Amino acid sequence: MITLHVYLTPKPGKNRELETAITDEWLEAMAEQPGFVRAVLLRPAPAEDLARLGAARPGHAFEVIAFWRSEQERLAWVARPVHDRVFKPVVALAASVSFTVQNVARGWKV
């Protein structure tokens, strides 16, 4: 199993629109793909809570973590026309987008 981590920061004033594009279009379409296991959308805790805890403040507004059975199945999704159709609006609303892929070494209740 692998995980795709996508870090997104909205363009000014586009926070809600970006979140909607992520959840209502991109992740909905992703969830229908062969090999998809599950996904989560993360938002940083409030800055004051992070400061009180001594926790690092993320440099992004949203993180998507998508679990896939294999990197091959994830790449097959990226190659499908539906991917571009649902991901282009996400990119258009984002000031920055970056990603990484990681191997799942071990899981609990996933």
Would you kindly state where each structural domain of the chain is located, as residue ranges? 2-102
| Confidence tier at 110 by pLDDT (50, 70, 90) | low
CATH 3.30.1130.10 fits 2-102, yes or no: no
pTM: 0.93
Report the pLDDT averaged over residues 24-33: 97
Using one digit for the tens of pLDDT, what is the confidence trace for 78-105? 999 999 999 999 999 999 999 999 999 9
Strand order in the sheet with 62-68: 36-42, 62-68, 2-10, 94-103
Q: What is the rounded end-to-end Cα distance, in angstroms, of the chain?
A: 10
Count of C-beta atoms within a 10 Å radius of residue 78: 12
